């Protein structure tokens, strides 16, 4: 029995082009290429071991694709699913990989990248196109930045407004006496605020307090 590569797309022209491309490639030599434009008839063709399914998500909602992927992998846990999306979404990409897909291609995917994806899948490897890699990295960086901003806001909420005033002037390089004069408080009160902030943040040097304040955006 020949191994199968099954392609789903709602556009017949796309199906014919992808089938032709795969049939001419040495990468997929020995595979039978089947094409479908209707999800409902796919199930009976997905039961063989090491079967590969390419899904073009055009015209389908993210929720529908997620449900179909889950259904297909329940029918055949060894099924290798490759997703091709014109409008990829980082959260959905992660969700689909969590469900068990093996590869994801974006709208800028070339023929060479398309064939490399199949080469990886046939060898049992994961594949992500360059466009999707960049998208996922940007998403991770954005999430990390949001986390840092959230952490900074939490830290900022741990000190009082007066302590913030004192901290700003400390970071500006003013001495305790100068800070006291600017804020119309005593030098002892300035030192008390300094000491309280250092205790809150488990810091034992004023220079470290300044560095901590700047890194966490506690001062302008």
Helix axes 187-200, 161-171, angle to 10 degrees: 100
Determine whether 170 is exposed, middle or buried from the number of CB atoms within 10 Å of its CB (0-12, 13-18, 19+): buried
pTM equals 0.61
Q: Crossing angle of helices 130-156/90-99, nearest 10°? A: 110
For the domain made up of 146-215, give the CATH fold: Arc Repressor Mutant, subunit A (1.10.10)
- 173 phi/psi in degrees, rounded to 5: 95, 10
DSSP 116-133: HHHHHHHTT--EE-HHHH
φ/ψ of residue 46, rounded to 5: -110, 15
pLDDT tens track of the chain, all 220 residues? 678 999 999 899 999 999 999 999 999 998 999 999 888 888 888 888 889 999 998 877 888 888 999 999 999 999 999 999 888 777 888 888 889 999 999 888 889 999 999 999 999 999 888 887 777 666 666 655 555 554 444 565 578 889 989 999 999 889 999 999 999 999 999 999 999 888 888 888 888 888 888 888 888 7
Helices (H), ranges, the chain: 12-24, 62-75, 90-99, 111-122, 130-156, 161-171, 176-183, 187-200, 206-215
Which CATH number does the domain 3-130 belong to among 3.40.190.10, 3.40.50.1580, 3.40.50.2300, 3.40.50.150? 3.40.50.2300
Looking at residue 139, its pLDDT comes to 62
Q: What CA–CA distances, in Å, run from 170 to 161, 193, 209?
A: 14, 11, 9
What pLDDT, on a 0 to 100 scale, did the predictor assign at position 153?
45
DSSP symbol at 196: H
Is there a contact between 46 and 68 (Cβ–Cβ < 8 Å)?
Answer: no
pLDDT value of residue 145: 58
Query: What is the pLDDT, as a whole number, of residue 33?
Result: 94
Q: Structural domain boundaries of the chain?
A: 3-130, 146-215
Which pLDDT value is given to residue 1?
60
Check residue 150 and give its pLDDT. Answer: 47
Map tokens 């990248």 to a residue.
Answer: 113
Kindly provide the b/e burial profile for residues 174-192, where b requires at least 16 CB atoms within 10 angstroms of the residue's own CB.
bebeebbeebebeeebbee
Strand order of the β-sheet with 52-56 is: 31-36, 3-8, 52-56, 80-84, 103-105, 127-128
């Amino acid at each position: 029995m020949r191994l199968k590569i099954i392609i789903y797309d709602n556009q017949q022209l796309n199906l014919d082009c992808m089938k032709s491309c795969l049939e001419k490639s040495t990468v997929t030599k020995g595979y039978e290429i089947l094409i479908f434009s209707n999800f409902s008839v796919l199930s009976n063709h997905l039961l063989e071991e090491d079967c590969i399914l390419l899904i073009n998500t055009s015209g389908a909602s993210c929720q529908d694709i997620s449900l179909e992927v889950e259904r297909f992998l329940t029918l055949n846990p060894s099924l290798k699913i490759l997703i091709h999306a014109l409008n990829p979404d980082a959260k959905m990409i992660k969700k689909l990989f969590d469900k068990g897909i093996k590869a994801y291609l974006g709208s800028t995917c070339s023929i060479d990248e398309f064939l490399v994806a199949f080469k990886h899948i046939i060898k049992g490897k994961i594949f992500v196109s360059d466009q999707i890699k960049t998208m996922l990295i940007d998403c991770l960086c954005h999430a990390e930045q949001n986390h840092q901003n959230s952490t900074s806001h939490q830290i900022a909420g741990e000190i009082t407004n007066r302590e913030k005033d004192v901290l700003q002037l400390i970071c500006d390089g003013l001495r305790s006496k100068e800070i006291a004069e600017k804020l119309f408080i005593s030098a002892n009160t300035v030192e008390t605020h300094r000491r309280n902030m250092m205790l809150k943040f488990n810091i034992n040097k004023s220079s470290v307090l300044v560095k901590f304040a700047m890194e966490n955006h506690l001062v302008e």
